[in-house]
Structure 1
């Protein structure tokens, strides 16, 4: 058979499969509603599961009608991607592994193939076998769509959780009226630096802060990139009307900064958070007197 004839035959077979799916939509949906993939997601109402199954059958029929049984970008699949993604995410939350979810999608094939074979006088004939093959390819594409959608949804969740973790890991603390501080712990990369800057600027506005302290006591190393991030944050705070102080400059970090030739001459620095707070208080005209040593009586 020539290539053009083979292609025409495959398209004709795909159309037959599409028509079958439309004709038997209700029966397929009723069988799928009891399958693990749908039953464990739609636990409140079986009718809801049936409707979800019908939507997937329609998607398969549309992809087959277009002769795109192997194409995950077929229009039909696009319509049900959100639904499939939510279903896969729901199964994942109950502890199902990606392999288990893929297996549950694959299990949808057999009930449909059983109905398809019943459409032909000779279930073992050539035309029946060709239609079964096309349907098998179509459900295989459905499995790929489900897994791709699930992975994309998983990546979005991870990205969202990472943003939330960055926000939690970079809190802005009000130390005094007009004084806020950001204690930094761990590596300061570009993404986290952006969160630090946004959080600090928002706090400066909310607290009407005149002084902001960036404490890098918990930052293990300071390189040129970290220094650049600090300088940008200091500059942004100045634009908001707040003086920025960098505290936690340990001897090792001071040596590294000098060795790298980083110029922090325009930045106020202090060795500890306490020193930075004392500086900010003095700048605001507040004098904090030292109390007596612990255990010393004032009488």
Structure 2
């Protein structure tokens, strides 16, 4: 848009100064308009007082960044702005807000200085640069939001893995690990760690690994089971693998998988009986004296 006659052109260097003037001229009213625009998108899921605090702090940091760092949002002058945006993004991610709702909290700032029919060509240029700055900060907000969501999902997956591999004390000296679902390398490591810790905590020397809930056993699953058994043996415990169904037995034979001297049973009950007999045998002295 050409400059109007009599209007001094705003240089790139002058734009941040002009933006600071525009944002501070009616800071209270502009800040309230920003809060109002965001509150409509969040539909009352955050208290108005909390939202007002977040955005007023962000507004002040944004003005300070423009005053000291110009339009470079990555400059040190915008460090507080970035920190506040990161805090906002992480909070929104934990509270279950969508990426759109999170980004709108930042992008709505563009409506604060939206040009009107009375906006001069010089101020319009300043507004366009302000819009680019807010867009960049909006993308930064989404990046932090995405990283936080990934961290939350990863933590939840780890918690589910912990819950899906419980170690149960069945009898004095006997613990069991009932496995449900696929057994992969990551889960094998969790099973091994929890089993070894349970052996130490309970002083058990018999461990039952029940695979009734494992849908299929292939060479990889068998290798994971063998690693767990070897680790338990290094701790002085003997393992029994239970839950060998007919289909799994046929698969093991077809694949040529060898469990060696590891005891296998068709059910957890049979495995427990065997473990109890073996425990009693270990405590009976020659001549039948206990």
TM-score range, shorter chain: 0.7 to 0.9
Is residue 222–residue 253 contact of structure 1 (8 Å, CA) maintained in 2? yes
Give the 3-state SS of the residue equivalent to 1:284 in structure 2: helix
CA RMSD of aligned residues (A): 3.2
Pairs within 5 Å for 1:30-41: 30-34=32-36, 35-36=38-39, 40=44
Select 1:78's aligned residue among 76, 82, 103.
Answer: 82
Is residue 86–residue 141 contact of structure 2 (8 Å, CA) maintained in 1? no
Is residue 182–residue 213 contact of structure 1 (8 Å, CA) maintained in 2? yes
Aligned to 2:191: 196
Question: For 1:112 and 1:87, how far apart are their aligned partners in 2?
Answer: 27
Question: For 1:153 and 1:10, how far apart are their aligned partners in 2?
Answer: 36
* Alignment CA distance shift 1:251-1:13 (3 Å): same
Between 1:51-60 and 1:211-220, the stretch displaced more is 51-60
Give the 3-state SS of the residue equivalent to 1:161 in structure 2: helix
Question: For 1:11 and 1:138, how far apart are their aligned partners in 2?
Answer: 15
Give the 3-state SS of the residue equivalent to 2:199 in structure 1: helix
Is residue 15–residue 67 contact of structure 1 (8 Å, CA) maintained in 2? no
Aligned to 2:55: 53
Give the 3-state SS of the residue equivalent to 1:183 in structure 2: strand
Q: How far does residue 270 in structure 1 lie from its aligned partner after superposition? A: 2.1
Q: How far does residue 62 in structure 1 lie from its aligned partner after superposition? A: 5.8
Question: For 2:20 and 2:236, how far apart are their aligned partners in 1?
Answer: 67
TM-score where L is the length of structure 2: 0.77
Aligned to 2:158: 163
Pairs within 5 Å for 1:1-299: 9-10=11-12, 12-14=14-16, 16-17=18-19, 21=23, 27-34=29-36, 35-36=38-39, 40=44, 43=47, 46=49, 48-61=50-63, 64=66, 65-69=69-73, 75-89=79-93, 93=96, 96-113=97-114, 124-285=119-280
Aligned to 1:292: none
Question: For 2:24 and 2:227, how far apart are their aligned partners in 1?
Answer: 61
- Displacement over 6 Å in runs of 4+: none
Question: For 1:29 and 1:86, how far apart are their aligned partners in 2?
Answer: 22
Cα distance per residue 1:209-256 (max 9 Å; x no partner): 111111111111112221121122112212222111111122332332
Question: For 2:238 and 2:140, how far apart are their aligned partners in 1?
Answer: 53
Give the 3-state SS of the residue equivalent to 1:55 in structure 2: helix
* Alignment CA distance shift 1:214-1:188 (3 Å): same
Aligned residues: 267
Aligned to 2:3: none
